[in-house]
Chain A
Amino acid sequence: GAGVSQTPSNKVTEKGKYVELRCDPISGHTALYWYRQSLGQGPEFLIYFQGTGAADDSGLPNDRFFAVRPEGSVSTLKIQRTERGDSAVYLCASSTSGPSSYNEQFFGPGTRLTVL
Chain B
Amino acid sequence: AQSVTQLGSHVSVSEGALVLLRCNYSSSVPPYLFWYVQYPNQGLQLLLKYTSAATLVKGINGFEAEFKKSETSFHLTKPSAHMSDAAEYFCAVKGSGNTGKLIFGQGTTLQVKP
Contact = CB atoms under 8 A, between A and B. Distances in A.
A105 B102 contact: yes
A43 B44 contact: yes
Nearest to B42: A109
Contacts of B9: 40
Given A4-B43, A104-B49, A109-B43, A48 B100 contact: yes
A91 B44 contact: yes
A41 B107 contact: yes
A31 B100 contact: yes
| Interface residues of chain A: helix, strand, loop or mixed (majority) | loop
Interface residues of A, number: 31
A50 to B, nearest CB: 8
Given A40-B106, A43-B90, A45-B95, A99 B43 contact: no
A103 B44 contact: no
B99 interface: yes
Contact of A95 (B43, B95, B100): B100
Interface of B: 4, 6, 9, 32, 36, 41-46, 49, 51, 90, 92, 94-95, 97-107
5 smallest CB-CB distances across A and B, nearest first, come from: A42-B104, A99-B100, A107-B43, A101-B32, A107-B44
